[in-house]
Structure 1
């Protein structure tokens, strides 16, 4: 955390019972962390608070409630990616059972099991969504085999050649994929 904060020019303060927050302006940034918490909890808060000076501008207290909520949602998402980057997670051979995998990830990344569970479930959702999308595209492509010029009627081919001819006469280019 110290190296990461230093690389972004952010000062870290570990204080007993500190109000966990980030304070920043155009020139300086600081993150306050509660030193009474476990290191896993501190890391979780750190990655959340790190988002604010990196991605947000202005004083949150002056923003309308809806914008504050948006910034907090963004910080919660950033926290997942920053604390457990996918390029690192995918290199790990996970235990076969989800609860074991959650505990293993929490230990490997030094985060709470709550955060590890959220990140693992997010990754699982993304993988599932990618598979659904691939299946959907496949279904759509199979329904539209008529788009293949080999399946066109002679009349369709004639109209297509005519359309290309007219575009060329008007000096317009034609891109055929």
Structure 2
């Protein structure tokens, strides 16, 4: 696995908001990512349910996330980070909204899920791992998330880092080249001309 230069990773405004909120509440490492603690930060209550995982909320009043009790821990956490987006970012009842608008909200929730489940700043402690397969496995275990979700997040990060690298290289290529340094004979001629100019100015007073 090639080295990931996290300094080149550009966060979105949504991602910055999530990361800033986490850090303000003392979430700095993968071991801090307890979903009950995270739910408390945003005033969300978690309930086990025999039905599908979903969010229910009323703006300014309550926010509930129901997690299917038959899912394993990794799947429940995956569902939590997705469903958490809806009360935090969305308004309206998906049952009554047009399909395209509902699809947009689900796409937004998918991005929110990646940002909130695996904050990029928490990956610094794992950057010494060089083997890609081992890296994915360790992140899956440390963040307690399904392998597929971890792979999507890592792929997203790598794509953004490579894009930033490409953008910087393009800017560098478009930058005007510095003029070549003068050769020594040219410098000698310029020095001679400067001396002659000074002598002429001295004669003319």
1:37-59 residue CA offsets vs partner (Å, 9 max, x unmatched): 11111000000000000000111
**Structure 1 portions without partners, runs of 5+:** 147-177
CA distance in 2, matches of 1:142, 1:39: 55
Which residue matches 2:58? 25
Mapped contact 1:10–1:28 kept (Cα < 8 A): yes
Aligned length: 144
CA distance in 1, matches of 2:154, 2:95: 32
CA distance in 2, matches of 1:127, 1:94: 17
Q: Which has the larger radius of gyration?
A: 2
After TM superposition, give the deviation of residue 90 of structure 1 in Å. 2.4
Which residue matches 1:107? 141
Q: Compared with structure 1, are the counterparts of its residues 127 and 37 closer, same or farther at alpha carbon in structure 2 (3 Å cutoff)? A: same
CA distance in 2, matches of 1:3, 1:98: 30
Match of 2:129 among 87, 95, 115: 95
Which residue matches 1:126? 160
**Structure 2 portions without partners, runs of 5+:** 1-34, 180-205
TM-score (norm 1): 0.77
Which residue matches 1:73? 107
Moved over 3 A (4+): none
Mapped contact 1:47–1:82 kept (Cα < 8 A): yes
1:81-104 residue CA offsets vs partner (Å, 9 max, x unmatched): 100000101232342221111111
Query: Greater RCO between the two (CA within 8 Å, min separation 6)?
Result: 2
Which residue matches 1:37? 71
After TM superposition, give the deviation of residue 8 of structure 1 in Å. 1.4
Match of 1:85 among 108, 116, 119: 119
